[in-house]
Structure 1
């Protein structure tokens, strides 16, 4: 506890004692004149002596507003520990007892409003005489990192340039295994007979498609086509398509059988 706090406590104790001792006495009238001190030996009250000593030494009793703002981090940690480091106090109006705080996010501000009674009680318990009566939550803003947080963060270390990766020579056994695999792998070869059979099948399918779907004769745009003729044409096209599909299926089956037979002969 500093000397300022001791002086303040002594001043408050002297006032309380004066009130108790002078409760039955009549309060003297205040003098309007200014007393001139000549030799400094006139008697003084304890409060006056302490006030004079603090004035001469440049000390002042800590204001309640300054104490609340200075100790807000501890108050917040005691009342709402999950919001520690995410809220900062910006102002305190001693006359109306309003404490202005700024959260770092809207959700944090909502939780702060719900916890306002708990925070106000913690502030009054931590700072006696502060008389905090209201909590005003301002618009969210980023919370600046304090000295403690700045000291906790290590300085960025310079990144060393990446050294080139040196490729190692593969062992002798690995190279022998790769060469043996390449020699054992047989390149794929296409049999000319199979390729010629596939080409013939493709030509036959194209011819069947041309026959099944012939080019329709040119008809003037304004000449209507007979309905019966259109129906007969559709039936013929359907029959030709079905026949072409059956022939194509038989040809494909025959081609597969020929290919299988040739492969068996080659392997034998």
Structure 2
């Protein structure tokens, strides 16, 4: 009983929200029905929707008539080949050449082999790993070189407290 009363109390807000969502003032009121009192028209529509059409076998190319198969074969035999406009093909080639030239200018270290083929992924990955290892090794050498100087600086700053002073508490 509380739900219909609550809906009745907030019906003005519900109507305003629905009307703003659909962009018209088509909704004026809300009628709250009791549980199980759906209109007969609604239940009839549900019954019609749930009643399935008589099931028929699904038609596929394998189950079609011989005439359809014959006309499909004739059609597939005479389908014209794809026509390419020569102007468009030339434009595509020009764009491809221009993109390759820009790529070579932007990434000169990634040029292909001397015979014009591109570098394989394995070779590029190996080169990248070698470069990364060289950077890591350089960083390790630098850290090792700086470590002795750092230890002498920090050793001067660290003072060891008297062990006897640590045994008593306040």
Into which bin does the TM-score normalised by the smaller protein fall? Answer: under 0.3
Q: Which has the higher helix share?
A: 2
With the length of structure 2 as denominator, give the TM-score of the two structures.
Answer: 0.21
Q: Which has the higher strand share?
A: 1
With the length of structure 1 as denominator, give the TM-score of the two structures.
Answer: 0.15
The structure with higher relative contact order (CA 8 Å, sep 6+) is 1
